[in-house]
Amino acid sequence: MSYQVLARKWRPKGFREMVGQEHVLQALINAVENDRLHHAYLFTGTRGVGKTSIARILAKCLNCERGVSSEPCGECSSCLEIAEGRSVDLIEVDAASRTKVEDTRELLENVQYAPTHARFKVYLIDEVHMLSGHSFNALLKTLEEPPSHVKFLLATTDPQKLPATILSRCLQFNLKNMPPEQIVGHLSRVLEEEGIAGEHSALWLLARAANGSMRDALSLTDQAIAFGSGDISESDVRSMLGTVDLTFVYQLLESVAGGEPAPVLSIVDRMAEHAPDFEGSLDEMISLLHRVAVAQAVPDALDNHWGDAERVAALAAGLTAEDTQLFYQIALNGKRDVPLAPDPRIGFEMVLLRMIAFRPAVPADAAFEPPAQPEPPIAATGTTAQGVGTTVKKPVEDHSLEGLTPESWPRLLERLGLLGIVYNIASHCLLRQRQDNRLFFLLDTDNSSLFNDGHRDKIRLALENYFGEPLQVFIDTGEPDLETPAMRQQRLAVERHREAVSEIENDPQLQQLISRFDGELDTASIMPTDS
């Protein structure tokens, strides 16, 4: 006996054997049990979700020799003929190959005749949306008022192409894509019955690759069994599907969190040796970031389907919630940009480098004002505070809103305690003007792609906490005509680097070494220190 593929072998024989689609099955079971049968049913959904299977089971329910029932016996001649596809009273039609009006008229010529030996003559028209307009017109009247012994079961993957006149004459059932959890559960039962060993993580890979289709999942399982010589392992399935090893994704995210580009590029080099799908790798990273975000928000909701809950929890503890959201947004936007890159690897690497570049850095002027010294006021007001035997300037802690100016905004920003992307956005904002308690900012257009109202609210709350009074914050985008805090930080960094280079170049000992060994100074390697 020839081998029967799993998708056919495990096709459900009754409603109770169906996996998922409970909303459809319940309605059909109740209709059959209560003898409230419609003359036309329309089943819609993507491929492999059970449209044809449900239609055939319904045909069994209607024509079982033991009577109309939601649980056909599966043993009588009618049930066996339907199951084997040789019932003369179940007319199955592939509309994709019979689109002409002549085919439809030929099909309907025998509608008025009673079934050969079954209770009902059932017309199962698959991919009904492929019929031509004239074919729908020919079908219309019969579909509306068929003989009492005729039932129409229509199936389609594209109900939008059906005329409204057809839709209005049918009971429509929309079948849903099956979630991975449901597919994994069914695959586990199938493999157990077949006596085949399969790793749980490998089944999750197959379920995700099936995209909601149980038939595709079973077909991929057949392929995985053949690929693994009778066993299903995660490594074999990844190799078969061309998906990346999750270990690389964990390492990449850990390296990105560390802010060092060299380890990131090294990991990508090792990934490239396995010829991975870099777009698929980006999908895996997005999925991992989602799980990290869930672990940060609701730790108890973290699943362990991949057996990596501890590693995900460690990532969640090592990243701030804002960094996680920033990485997720960058990766999601990167999916759009990767196909535009000259090479998928280049696009993938740029997404990772963007994650590092957008991380908030230590301000270039961190030593602008030593913390041990009293800080100058935001604006020179001449106010003094009396101490014991001495007079000092009143520090900025007076939180005077009147002293807030475009010039003092960069120094104030460092005292607001903003972090992550919110700090990054605020650093690219220019304070244009202040009108009473209303502050008007201009955000640099080049750095506005990730900005949203939530970021504005966080900046407003930080300012309100600092000044101790309610404020209104308005942020527009445009080209700043003055220096933003980020521009100031960059300028100060360049100046400090230039001073450091000049100091080293003028060092007599260094000049002697260069002259003696005919050397050359690598200015790019000079890193100024805060002192």
CA distance 243 to 280: 7
**Tens digits of per-residue pLDDT, 73-108?**
888 999 999 988 888 889 888 888 877 888 788 878
**CA 351 → CA 233, 248, 268, 274, 322, distances in Å?**
31, 15, 12, 20, 17
Residue range 373-412, pLDDT digits in tens = 444 444 444 444 444 444 444 444 556 788 888 888 888 8
Model confidence pLDDT, tens digit, residues 254-311: 888 878 889 899 999 988 887 778 888 898 899 899 989 998 888 887 776 666 778 8
Which domains can be identified in the chain, with CATH numbers? 6-174 (3.40.50.300), 180-241 (1.10.8.60), 246-357 (1.20.272.10), 401-531 (3.30.300.150)
Backbone angles phi, psi at 276, to 5 degrees: -80, 165
DSSP E strand boundaries for 374-488: 384-386, 391-393, 429-435, 438-444, 472-478
Q: In what order do the strands lie in the sheet with 150-156?
A: 90-94, 121-126, 150-156, 40-44, 171-174
**CA 384/CA 388 separation, integer angstroms:** 13
Over residues 254-268, the pLDDT tens digits come to 888 878 889 899 999
Per-residue model confidence as pLDDT tens digits over 439-480: 999 998 887 877 888 888 889 988 988 888 889 999 998 888
What are the φ/ψ torsions at residue 472 (nearest 5 degrees)? -115, 125
Element containing residue 219 per DSSP (H, E): helix 214-227
Look at residue 153 and give its three-state secondary structure: strand
Pairing of strands 384-386, 391-393: antiparallel
Confidence at residue 399, expressed as pLDDT on a 0 to 100 scale: 65
Could you tell me if 138 and 8 are in contact, meaning their C-beta atoms sit under 8 angstroms apart? no
Contact call for residues 295 and 316 (beta carbons, < 8 A): yes
360 burial type by CB count under 10 A (0-12 exposed, 13-18 middle, 19+ buried): middle
Averaged pLDDT, 420-435:
86
Res. 483 pLDDT band, cuts 50 70 90:
confident
Distances (CA, A) of 231 to 169, 206, 236, 303: 49, 14, 9, 25
